[in-house]
Amino acid sequence: MLTGSFGNREYLLNALSRRGLKVNDINYVVLTHLHYDHAINALIFRNARVILSEKERDYALVYRERDPYIAYVLLDF
């Protein structure tokens, strides 16, 4: 299941609910990359451990100011 963007949040919450899950039931969130349209809803999983490759983290740190699509807030999450 993708975390997705703000516009997908309701769909994500509904998909979890159909499976009998709430955001606090999720222990891990795996992100392939930090672009908003794929990752920003990771913020709702406050109890989850976010897993991101070292390569993607390094990319986001290096290109932080040059890639406008990086969800910078997730670097500190």
Q: What is the pLDDT of residues 8-35, one digit of tens each?
A: 999 999 999 999 999 999 999 999 999 9
CA 49, CA 64: separation in Å to the nearest integer? 22
CB contact at 8 A, 67 and 77: no
The SS3 assignment for 6 reads helix
pTM of the model: 0.83
| 38-70 pLDDT, tens digit each | 999 999 999 999 999 999 999 999 998 899 999
Res 9: pLDDT: 95
Res 65: pLDDT: 84
Closest CA to 74 of 66, 7, 26, 64: 64
Place of tokens 């990086």: 70
Q: Which helix (H) or strand (E) holds 29?
A: strand 28-31
